[in-house]
């Protein structure tokens, strides 16, 4: 955190795209990004599937034997 001129604490974060410091406040319209450009670069990475959220895939049901009927 850093101090503003008015003595209020302001949280600083790094832009996920370019690592530039960004003030975490309402006036920072693109937070956590430093600019619309960095926000769109990140969105494009998700859209092109460069980023993904890992998930456990369910097992293939065909690999299990079917219950025997008596």
Following DSSP, what letter does each residue of the chain receive, concatenated? -EE-TTS-EEEEEE-TTT--EEEESTT-TTTTSSSHHHHHHHHHHHHTTSS----PPPPPGGGSPPPPP-
- The pLDDT tens digits for 3-42 are 455 567 889 999 999 999 999 999 999 999 999 999 999 9
Do residues 12 and 2 lie in contact, with contact meaning Cβ atoms separated by under 8 Å? yes
For 2-50, give the CATH class.
alpha beta
> Considering only CA atoms, which of 49, 30, 47, 28 is closest in space to residue 38?
30
Does the pTM surpass 0.75? The reply is no
How many CB atoms are closer than 10 A to CB 34? 21
pLDDT of residue 41: 96
């Amino acid at each position: 955190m850093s101090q503003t001129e008015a003595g209020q604490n302001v949280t600083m974060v790094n832009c996920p795209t370019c690592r530039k410091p960004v003030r975490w406040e309402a006036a920072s319209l693109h937070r956590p990004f430093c600019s619309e450009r960095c926000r769109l670069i990140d969105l494009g990475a998700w859209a092109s599937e460069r980023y993904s959220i890992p998930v456990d895939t369910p097992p293939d049901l065909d690999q299990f034997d079917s219950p025997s009927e008596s």
